[in-house]
Structure 1
């Protein structure tokens, strides 16, 4: 993801046509039409749509809501599709000739040598090659039979340790044909967590990328139950004979060989039940060893069926770009939705996504340019960097191009905040033609809807993507424990910073947390810990009944509720906003409570900040921060300030640089969210003033001291999750001495 973020926007974003005579003429047309458009917007002001409504539920007292559009909880997309195996088979038989899974043909590989002597792989990729729903079903059936013939005991578990690809999806569905529970593991997971995950679940068959074989060889003596290994050949490489010594006790075969074995000797399917555990998903959690969440077939199906109703008309004409880790519940849910809707899924990579991505050979098109997706999912870090890249390119071009972009952006922003008609009507088409068409080409030019999850998306980034890409973002809130979907912002909701009403397969309940000062009786909006109940709530943690009983509670009506630990508030229209997290709250020496997550969310808006961790020692009356600075922003400042330095590490240690970033953080702490300003206008209340005051940071919440960290925090280093959320305990342990120095 980091590569995509850093190198995706070197190509032209704004065409010469858009900055020449056509742009001037277009701008003049828009100027003449503005009075007309304004009058139309005023005339078409809409009544506020109710998106969530109160509902009576069981369990602990609180304030509960459901989706306003669908009164009964959604459990299945259609009758008979109560498991992933049934959903897969029925979808494939409904669309046998429609294209389903696609991947790009590898035409060649080159290596380029950088000035420091390092070699980088460059790929020459061709067009997408597609398999139909019918062909994919046949392959999954063959793989399922091959697993049995290969020696996998159907009473044991299989694990997938690989990057997202066609074979990952086929292996996943093939396992379900024999009721095999799949253990999913991030390919970037460290050795200790990998060993723990495989041994705890007693996996006997491991399905992996060929490049994972060396990692497995290194830890093979610690893996107690592995007997079979099946490796993908999707990267064009063969099994490395050099690792055979470490895995000599295992039966090793390629994915294609297992498929052929199953095709020669078919085995009757043994299909799962709705309550059967489909997946044990190991999260790259923010503390300690990862926990395995038991996700049932019914959980995945219910999530897919519910969110499908919230995406505008998904179907066979849609193309979804798949590149996020399938071991993450967001991508797993998204691809399940595509399967449910009969869409096509084209696989890509963050390293090959754009024409200028690091693994793309010069002259070769990136994944988005070839696929031209209509739907995609992303984590907030990607949207943030899309925004940074576009702004940077506009600034570089300057002149008329910059002026046109700024005018167009302001007009579209005013239209969105004043009238949804203005955002999607005539003015939108004009500005798209003049300015935004070439910006949209960054993601292929055809995106019509995007799903965002994994972490909070800033209001500014959400609005920027809405305007520049011309597509709404469905911001999802959920956890692995709720099978990704708990709430989902609807496509026709112009607000930002909120996560929408409950998805139709579950209820959301707020439970008062008196210690933190959040109560359901709070005015003007009820507040409390977010609790989720419904068909998407998973079965608990594998082999961890103690932890399961802490956060999963079954009420008197038999419904299971998951206590998220997140704090939310519900708006008058029934939409949820995440405002805090219980574990992130620390009491300072003089009794003030500081929410680490809230402060981080406010300060990361600074242009100087790429990532930040706030640390509060309860024996002091102030907090401190570790800051990963934006290299480009900091180096640009150093150049303008005539600061001399040899490398980034030296710059980060300079007092002038630390002082500059610290001053910027103080300014960022006073910013007010545009979301609340817009919502206050919609609801004609004093909501804006109340929430805006809450959004500003108090003096004790602004870090008194900071340390600039020159190296980025990556999933590979174990400092952030795959969704790029910080791992607080790991960061505190790694930088223990730095934090202690800040308090001296």
Structure 2
């Protein structure tokens, strides 16, 4: 297989009558007032409806012809700005089949990023959702190239916005009708392996979003690499063979505009799995968008495979621990002992079936009760979170390493690898080498394990950045016939060829006494503290200590305030109260010591941030990675105050 279309046609020929895509029909929403006065929108949904691989194939052709009847031609960029849903993947596959590059933008991307991505790629046809129409219509005066907006309907949006003149608005369901009526002479172009398939705009932790040009062959190479670590009958007897087994299902809820989710779904399709689409708002029975007594997406779908990101897994861990703590001291201690006991035996390669049935079955039921393998990527997964999730969900946790520039693929762990904190060996089709970084003290000659900047080469390395030749030349190099990408991440390589990411060049800061401190490493460990929802650690080379800007977990902060008899304060008041701040600082210090951070790595001062760190604020990326420069600029006044006061 050399192109995505070839890969999809192969799957369709193998699994034609099997179920392919599933989605829940939405009937509307109700507003529900919570005891604390907050109002949540509860979404009313039906059971999953399904289409087969053959039906998927037919609809791909119709959507493609529908787009061409609206004036789209091969090699002309089309943008998808929408949440993860069946129509997203259907649109993308229709474009890729007839050689139309797909520009992807996060639904949560800020206005400046959306304007930049659409204008830079000169988009004429924009595919979006009805929920995002108000934002799109607001931005249209700044999007001069857009002539057509195709929107996916939603029963949650009762009022249709006023459509401005000069731009054609088309309902997505009409595309297939247009395709059926289209001129039979309208034909796309068969893509070649080197043709651009995706221009993926990374939300970027620094600066303006960059468009990464990913080829058809890049995606196929990633699918091939991912398949090599998927379980089969020969390797994991207890799992069974994934290929074409109707009992297996993948739950899709992460942003498809992220390369990790896009490639995960393409791998699932190539294996003949069912893909059930879900939403973070309705994922579990306890999700904020699910009515009391109604079933979440995972409960209905009962997936056996799912992808996640460390931030979500950290939240699951904190939530489960919080529930155990709320049931009293004995229940909390028993739960901690059960988890520790299971972790001990799992490290030796054994399981605890009695504990699974008595204790962990209820937690497993949160994600449907049948999860066999959980894949995680996009950021380092703390070792303790890795072990905790593997224990309570009774599943294998596969950790991978990759970047948008390497089409999500670089390394991946084997299911039989019981170590924690490791990202596995290079995947099939990729090669990896280390480059010395003298400033950070990392060398490929280090003993016992070589260390250095990760440089990834091979078939998954993308073309470069769209309309940015200078940055492409800086980050991509062709040496000895191999295309390499310089990642900026630092790793050590073990004797068996597996890799552990230990640092990042951009996250290194030098304090006044000359010590180099890895901010990223500290942040990854602090995120496992129950109090910390997200954190940005800052260090000034003019001072001898670090400070931490913390977005606190609201529930945990309320519990902390109640121990100080300050239950009646608002969230903003709690974040400013000196006693609560000092108590929070003590919690973070104790947690830092448990994580075995050195004294100079423990933040001396803490600022609790009441502002919401959401992607639309520009403080974090769409994947909730911190944007260090934007956060430090936003809180510069507070940073200056913390450094001006004596410790």
Normalised by the shorter chain, which TM-score bucket?
A: over 0.9
Q: 1:644: how far off?
A: 5.8
Q: 1:714: how far off?
A: 1.4
Q: SS at 2:448's partner residue?
A: coil
Q: Unaligned stretches of 5+ in structure 2?
A: 233-241
Q: SS at 1:594's partner residue?
A: strand
Which residue of structure 2 aligns with residue 622 of structure 1?
A: 545
Q: Does 1:651 align with 2:571?
A: no
Residues in 1 aligned to 2:634 and 2:468: alpha-carbon distance in whole angstroms: 27
Q: SS at 2:594's partner residue?
A: coil
Q: 1:256: how far off?
A: 1.3
CA shift digits 1:535-581 (9 cap, x unpaired): 1111100000000111101002x111100001110122221111111
Which residue of structure 2 aligns with residue 732 of structure 1?
A: 632
Which residue of structure 2 aligns with residue 502 of structure 1?
A: 426
Which residue of structure 2 aligns with residue 312 of structure 1?
A: 231
Residues in 1 aligned to 2:15 and 2:231: alpha-carbon distance in whole angstroms: 20
Q: 1:721: how far off?
A: 1.4
Which residue of structure 2 aligns with residue 681 of structure 1?
A: none
Which residue of structure 2 aligns with residue 684 of structure 1?
A: none
Q: Does 1:289 align with 2:208?
A: yes
Residues in 2 aligned to 1:511 and 1:169: alpha-carbon distance in whole angstroms: 38
Decide whether aligned partners of structure 1 residues 728 and 244 sit closer, same or farther in structure 2, where only a CA change above 3 A counts. same
Q: Does 1:371 align with 2:301?
A: yes
Residues in 2 aligned to 1:204 and 1:380: alpha-carbon distance in whole angstroms: 36
Tell me which of 514, 531, 541 is aligned to 1:608: 531
Residues in 2 aligned to 1:553 and 1:624: alpha-carbon distance in whole angstroms: 37
Decide whether aligned partners of structure 1 residues 191 and 292 sit closer, same or farther in structure 2, where only a CA change above 3 A counts. same
Q: 1:345: how far off?
A: 0.3
Which residue of structure 2 aligns with residue 332 of structure 1?
A: 262
Q: 1:157: how far off?
A: 0.7
Aligned residue runs from structure 1 range 582-597, under 5 A:
582-597=505-520
Residues in 1 aligned to 2:179 and 2:291: alpha-carbon distance in whole angstroms: 37
Contact kept in structure 1, 2:314 and 2:528, CA below 8 Å? no
Which residue of structure 2 aligns with residue 93 of structure 1?
A: 13
Deviates more, 1:351-360 or 1:631-640: 631-640
Residues in 2 aligned to 1:700 and 1:567: alpha-carbon distance in whole angstroms: 21
Residues in 2 aligned to 1:236 and 1:633: alpha-carbon distance in whole angstroms: 32
CA shift digits 1:311-332 (9 cap, x unpaired): 1132223200000000011100
CA shift digits 1:642-679 (9 cap, x unpaired): 3465212222222222222222333333335xxxxxxx
Contact kept in structure 2, 1:499 and 1:575, CA below 8 Å? yes
Tell me which of 297, 318, 336 is aligned to 1:388: 318
Decide whether aligned partners of structure 1 residues 702 and 410 sit closer, same or farther in structure 2, where only a CA change above 3 A counts. closer
Tell me which of 575, 578, 602 is aligned to 1:702: 602
Q: SS at 2:434's partner residue?
A: strand
Decide whether aligned partners of structure 1 residues 432 and 702 sit closer, same or farther in structure 2, where only a CA change above 3 A counts. closer
Tell me which of 226, 237, 260 is aligned to 2:177: 260
Which residue of structure 2 aligns with residue 63 of structure 1?
A: none
Q: 1:147: how far off?
A: 0.7
Q: Does 1:561 align with 2:489?
A: no
Tell me which of 260, 267, 274 is aligned to 1:344: 274
Which residue of structure 2 aligns with residue 84 of structure 1?
A: 4
Tell me which of 54, 65, 76 is aligned to 1:156: 76
Q: 1:114: how far off?
A: 5.4
Decide whether aligned partners of structure 1 residues 653 and 442 sit closer, same or farther in structure 2, where only a CA change above 3 A counts. same
Tell me which of 120, 124, 127 is aligned to 1:204: 124
Which residue of structure 2 aligns with residue 60 of structure 1?
A: none
Contact kept in structure 2, 1:580 and 1:597, CA below 8 Å? yes
Decide whether aligned partners of structure 1 residues 108 and 669 sit closer, same or farther in structure 2, where only a CA change above 3 A counts. closer
Contact kept in structure 1, 2:285 and 2:366, CA below 8 Å? no
Contact kept in structure 2, 1:530 and 1:563, CA below 8 Å? yes
Decide whether aligned partners of structure 1 residues 394 and 705 sit closer, same or farther in structure 2, where only a CA change above 3 A counts. closer
Which residue of structure 1 aligns with residue 237 of structure 2?
A: none
Residues in 2 aligned to 1:373 and 1:459: alpha-carbon distance in whole angstroms: 25
Aligned residue runs from structure 1 range 538-577, under 5 A:
538-556=462-480, 558-577=481-500
Decide whether aligned partners of structure 1 residues 257 and 356 sit closer, same or farther in structure 2, where only a CA change above 3 A counts. same
Decide whether aligned partners of structure 1 residues 472 and 241 sit closer, same or farther in structure 2, where only a CA change above 3 A counts. closer
Residues in 2 aligned to 1:307 and 1:301: alpha-carbon distance in whole angstroms: 10
Contact kept in structure 1, 2:163 and 2:169, CA below 8 Å? no
Q: SS at 1:725's partner residue?
A: coil
CA shift digits 1:114-149 (9 cap, x unpaired): 578875432221110000000011001000011111
Which residue of structure 1 aligns with residue 238 of structure 2?
A: none
Tell me which of 189, 194, 197 is aligned to 1:278: 197
Deviates more, 1:394-403 or 1:166-175: 394-403
CA shift digits 1:175-194 (9 cap, x unpaired): 11221000000011111111
Residues in 2 aligned to 1:98 and 1:452: alpha-carbon distance in whole angstroms: 27
Which residue of structure 1 aligns with residue 59 of structure 2?
A: 139
Which protein, 1 or 2, shows the higher relative CO under an 8 Å CA cutoff with sep ≥ 6?
A: 1
Q: 1:436: how far off?
A: 1.4
Decide whether aligned partners of structure 1 residues 485 and 133 sit closer, same or farther in structure 2, where only a CA change above 3 A counts. same
Residues in 2 aligned to 1:108 and 1:221: alpha-carbon distance in whole angstroms: 31
Contact kept in structure 1, 2:222 and 2:407, CA below 8 Å? yes
What is the root-mean-square deviation of aligned Cα atoms in Å?
Answer: 1.8
Decide whether aligned partners of structure 1 residues 585 and 403 sit closer, same or farther in structure 2, where only a CA change above 3 A counts. closer
Contact kept in structure 1, 2:412 and 2:427, CA below 8 Å? yes
Contact kept in structure 2, 1:404 and 1:435, CA below 8 Å? no
Which residue of structure 2 aligns with residue 128 of structure 1?
A: 48
Decide whether aligned partners of structure 1 residues 370 and 305 sit closer, same or farther in structure 2, where only a CA change above 3 A counts. same
Decide whether aligned partners of structure 1 residues 408 and 605 sit closer, same or farther in structure 2, where only a CA change above 3 A counts. closer
Q: SS at 2:561's partner residue?
A: helix
Q: 1:602: how far off?
A: 2.8
Residues in 2 aligned to 1:564 and 1:408: alpha-carbon distance in whole angstroms: 40
Decide whether aligned partners of structure 1 residues 121 and 653 sit closer, same or farther in structure 2, where only a CA change above 3 A counts. closer
Which residue of structure 2 aligns with residue 599 of structure 1?
A: 522
Q: 1:715: how far off?
A: 1.5
Residues in 1 aligned to 2:537 and 2:434: alpha-carbon distance in whole angstroms: 27
Residues in 2 aligned to 1:132 and 1:316: alpha-carbon distance in whole angstroms: 12
Residues in 1 aligned to 2:72 and 2:36: alpha-carbon distance in whole angstroms: 47
Deviates more, 1:105-114 or 1:338-347: 105-114
Say how many residue pairs are matched.
631
Q: 1:361: how far off?
A: 2.4
Residues in 2 aligned to 1:402 and 1:116: alpha-carbon distance in whole angstroms: 25
Which residue of structure 2 aligns with residue 693 of structure 1?
A: none
Residues in 1 aligned to 2:23 and 2:593: alpha-carbon distance in whole angstroms: 47
User: What TM-score do the two structures reach when normalised by structure 1?
Assistant: 0.82
Aligned residue runs from structure 1 range 656-695, under 5 A:
656-672=579-595
Q: Does 1:743 align with 2:643?
A: yes
Q: SS at 1:137's partner residue?
A: helix
Q: Does 1:171 align with 2:171?
A: no
